[in-house]
Chain A
Amino acid sequence: MLAKRIIPCLDVKNGRVVKGIHFVGLRDAGDPIEQARWYAEQGADEVTFLDITASVEARGTLLHMVERVADSIFIPFTVGGGVRSADDFRDLLRAGADKASINTAAVTKPQIISECAEKFGSQCVVVAIDAKKSSNVMPPALSKAKGETSSEKSGAHWQVSTHGGRKETGWDAIAWAREVERLGAGEILLTSIDRDGTQSGYDLELTRAIVKAVNIPVIASGGAGTLEHFYTALSEGQADAVLAASLFHDRVMSIGEVKQYLAARGVCIRK
């Protein structure tokens, strides 16, 4: 059986790992290579790096880091942050990343998704969607996607935001998810901005709504605080993978513990 994946996420800035709570208040927490290796040994199924360096000049530092990671671990890893063009995307793959994730650029010019999917294959194109509960949403601009724009039963709405939740698009997250699939995304990294950093649990309603809207894997992110949270994201939330940062980072719990717990509750995971 295909296993549910447990993915630790490392926020990196200038080639160093930092940690974010609500995307503000970062603090240095170590060397990316050491961290990645440690997580791989712990049984992480993948590792995700999110580069939060703002400057374009620091791109070289990131690529060098990606090369060093590729030389250090033998499990897949994804790199996101600052991908503005298909060239940026290609640079990450060439440096050794297995997948790259696009967030802001996907919103500002959605054709970058199809361009990358055509050039490099859908399997390596991850679109990150930052979603925030909202009472007022509209379909994404340029959208050809039809269908429901909200969670059918509850009528809940989430809107797509960028820049770590600081900028709002007004777009409906469900319609946007369908659109990115249509454009060729191979996977969605779904972050609940409301839950991120709160450790109050993944947004199950949001996760389930997105999973039901598309036929590509969805990684749930934002809000993990307990072992139970991982379980509910995969069962009730129906996510294909769960991502967490600070919980693993601060060693509140290990990936091994999460996997043991999930296995005991009957979830198919890689031992």
Chain B
Amino acid sequence: MRDTRYAICEMLAIIDYGMSNLRSVRHAFEYLGAEARIVDSPREVERARALVLPGDGAFGPAMENLNAFGWLEPFYAAIARGVPFLGICLGMQLLFETSEENGAHQGLGILRGSVKKFPRAAGKIPQIGWNQLQIKSSSRFLAGVSQNAFAYFVHSYYCDARDENVIAARTEYGVSYASVVEAGNVWGAQFHPEKSGADGLTMLRNFLALAAGETAELRPET
């Protein structure tokens, strides 16, 4: 059943920079009633009412692609205008300053901190499967999601966020790391909300509410 409330969110742009299968992200947003479009030209960023940066794969090639095709300036401009921006998985990692994945790489630098490899002692790498969210603050992205809810993760590197106050949720896998970040209109999820069942859909709905200019109801801390 389609939710028509967010049809108002006319132009949700899912950035195609050659780093992932975007179909499931688009489908989840469409299921929620948004008009989600996969865009492969930075010019379209200007018209977007909300931006989603997904991604699987390696940090270095992802930044190279973003740089080479001129995505960076439009991103910074959109974020400065207050356009809601959601990074998913690698898309969240790219928000940070640096990454140590196969060498040293510069990220978008929107959030302070670096992307690091899980220590060997953490367990099997990549982490694949459902892990828990220790919700730290009454974040808008996590409104309606219960404490210790499970989300679906697939990753070998994690975000070591420097500012504690941008961390909306933490997850444990050998280390305790930022699994949800929220800084104004910039949000990030290390897991795949589009593959995290009902809770994941709730989060994407919260993002659409932000994009549609609604105030998501804040969940009291538990």
Contacts and interface: CB of A to CB of B under 8 A. Distances in A.
A93 B173 contact: no
Contact of A45 (B126, B130, B192): B130
Q: In the complex, which range does the number of interface residues on chain A fall in?
A: 20 to 34
Contact of A74 (B21, B23, B28): B28
A98 B22 CA distance: 11
B81 to A, nearest CB: 30
What does DSSP make chain A's interface, helix, strand, loop or mixed?
A: loop
Nearest to B127: A2
A217 B28 CA distance: 27
A190 B97 CA distance: 40
Contacts of B195: 74-76, 98
B152 A75 contact: yes
A137 B153 CA distance: 37
A80 B123 CA distance: 26
A187 interface: yes
Interface string B29-53: 0010000000000000000000000
Contacts, number: 70
Interface in A62-116: 70-71, 74-76, 93-94, 96, 98
A121 B129 contact: no
Interface stretch (B70-78, B100-108, B181-189, B196-204): B196-204
Interface residues of B, number: 31
Nearest to B30: A71
B136 interface: no
A40 B152 CA distance: 14
Contacts of B125: 215
B131 A1 contact: yes
A3 interface: yes
A107 B30 CA distance: 40
Contacts of B141: none
B21 A3 contact: no
A74 B129 contact: no
B57 A2 contact: no
B132 interface: yes
A121 B130 contact: no
A240 B124 contact: yes
Interface core residue of A1, A40, A271 (most chain B CB under 10 Å): A1
A270 interface: yes
B27 A71 contact: yes
B56 interface: yes
10 contacts: A2-B131, A5-B130, A74-B198, A75-B195, A96-B27, A123-B126, A215-B124, A217-B128, A240-B124, A270-B150
